[in-house]
Amino acid sequence: MIAPVTHFLPLTKIRRARLLPVSGRVVVRVGQKVSAVDVVAESLGSGKHVIVDVWQALGFSATSRSEKWVGRKVGETVQVGDVIAETGGLFRKVVRAPVEGQIIAIGGGQVLLETKGEGTAVLAGFSGVVEELVPERGAIIEGSGALIQGVWGNQRIGMGTLQVVASAPDEELRADRLDVSLRGAILVCGYCADAGVFAKASDLQIRGLILASMASSLIPAARKVDYPIVLVEGFGNLPFNQVAYKILSTNEKREVAVNAALWDIYQGERPEIFIPLPAEGEMAAETDEFHPGQIVRIQGGDFPERTGRIVEVYPYPCPISNGLKVLAARVELADRESVVPLANLDVIE
């Protein structure tokens, strides 16, 4: 059976496409080294639109509208006050552009102007090298290092020095734990239920938060801060799984890139924490099947360790203790074995 895979890898090679949703300008070149916050491609987003009713402004009747007085063409740019239409004759009337922008359409005695948009930029999201360009859209970037995939992010990207402030995978992060010595760091801690943490982290110019879990009531506050917040396990009071915690704690003081994307299986986006390392990693498989020997993470239930090793995958639905008959695996935990539905497992690779 197909197994969902989550990567917690001490050394791997990742290859990610960073693409604009629409055509734009690629600003990197093949072979270029990029950091997480470097722009890969940018596009001028469409701004606001303004319809200038030339016909009405010139004082003509609503019938038999035409563009005969418009002295501009589609595609031209105009400044505020530029004449876009005028009548001839002794009593000349003019219509001026109310905004700076580009003429998108002319018709029916009207002119449609588009103002300059704010634009969209795609960031690299991790430190690596540009391997390939996708014309007008972006680039493919590769990098080697440690990778931890998260489950939720606040849609920010950042980088900084990794600082583990948790002495245990389940330690709660409180505002009073933060001080000026952590400025510029990306912090690792177990659980957060205190919105005050986010505000204080902003004040201290913390570059990011990597949490095992967070109270879901903090989601609105997390979305407001300008640094990335990634959850590795999810919502509620969930400790880090041992594998992820070990990777993070053994890489303390290294530079880390945090791409706190929202998990979207259709767009291929997932929150990721990447620690570039001076060694060449191997690309990890993105797909797998359940089989004995795999390390798996368990969702739900009373499993404080959150990870275990598959001992046996049952070929047919078997009863679990709540009475349901489901496809399941026997999983070896720290001090016992348990039968867990395959639906509650993701393979750690």
Partner 1 sequence: MTTSIVDAESLLAIDIGTINTRALLFDIVEGQYRHIATGTALTTAGVPYLDVGEGIHRAIQNLQDLTGRVIIGPSSEVILPMAANGAGIDQLAITYSAGPELRVVIAGLLPDVSISSAQRLVATVNSRVVETIGITDRRRMEVQLDAIVHAKPDLVIISGGTDYGANRSVLKVVELILLACKVTAKGQIPEVVFAGNKALADRVKEFLGRYTRVTLLSNLRPSVDVENIDSNLNAFIEVVNRIRGEQIGGLAAFAALGNTCVMPTPLAFGRMIRFISCVNKEKGVLGVDLGASAATVAIAVGGKLSLNVYPLNMGAGHLSQRAIEGVMRWLSADIPEAVVRDYLWQKTLFPASLPLTHQSLLIEQAAARYILQTVTQLAMMRGQYAGRGFEPVIASGAVLSFTPQIEQSLLMLLDGLQPSGITTLILDPNGVMSAMGAAAGLNSVIPVHILESGAFLNLGTVIAPYSRARYGSKVLQVRVVYEQGGDARYEIKQGTLALLPLENGQVARLHLSAINGATLDATGKVRSANFKVIGGVCGIVIDARGRPIALPSDKARRREMLCKWRDALGISDSGIELAR
30-38, 65-73, 154-162, 260-268 -> range binding partner 1 (CB under 8 A) = 260-268
Round to whole Å and give the CA distance between 249 and 163.
8
Query: Binding residues for partner 1, how many (CB under 8 A)?
Result: 51
Answer yes or no whether residue 63 interacts with partner 1 by CB under 8 A: no
Contacts with 314 (C-beta within 8 Å, 6 or more apart), sequence order: 327, 328, 329, 330, 339
Q: Work out how close the CB of 298 gets to partner 1 at its nearest, in angstroms, rounded to a whole number.
A: 9
341 binds partner 1 (CB under 8 A): yes
Question: Shortest approach of partner 1 to residue 185 CB, angstroms?
Answer: 27
| Listed residue (159, 146, 150) closest to 250, CA to CA | 146
d(CA 11, CA 9): 5
- Our finding on whether 25 is near partner 1 (CB under 8 A) is no
Taking the C-alpha atoms of residue 31 and residue 146, their distance in angstroms, rounded to an integer, is 21
Q: Between the CA atoms of 115, 116, 118 and 122, what dihedral angle is there, to the nearest 10 degrees?
A: 130
CB of 10 or CB of 234, closer to partner 1:
234
Could you give the string, one character per residue 89-128, with x where binding to partner 1 holds by CB under 8 A and - elsewhere? Answer: ---------------xx--x---x-x--------------
Q: Is 291 in the site for partner 1 (CB under 8 A)?
A: no
167 touches partner 1 (CB under 8 A): no
User: Alpha carbon of 288 to those of 137, 242, 265, 296, 320: distances in Å?
Assistant: 31, 21, 16, 12, 24
Q: Which is nearer to partner 1, 52 or 162 (CB)?
A: 52
Q: Is 66 in the site for partner 1 (CB under 8 A)?
A: no
The Cα-based distances of 194 to 123, 206, 308 in angstroms read: 30, 16, 30
Q: Is 286 in the site for partner 1 (CB under 8 A)?
A: yes
Q: For residue 307, which of 298, 320, 319, 315 has the smallest C-alpha distance?
A: 298
The one among 25, 48, 223, 224 contacting partner 1 by CB under 8 A: 48
> In this structure, are strands 318-319 and 325-326 parallel, antiparallel, or unpaired?
antiparallel
| Shortest distance in whole angstroms from residue 123 CB to partner 1 | 20
Which has the closest alpha carbon to 128: 261, 263, 267, 28? 28
Nearer to partner 1, 162 or 313 (CB): 313
Instruction: Give the binding site for partner 1 (CB under 8 A).
Output: 1-2, 4-5, 21-23, 46, 48-51, 104-105, 108, 112, 114, 151-152, 215-217, 219, 234-237, 263, 265-266, 268, 270, 286-287, 299-302, 320-324, 326, 336, 338-341, 343-344
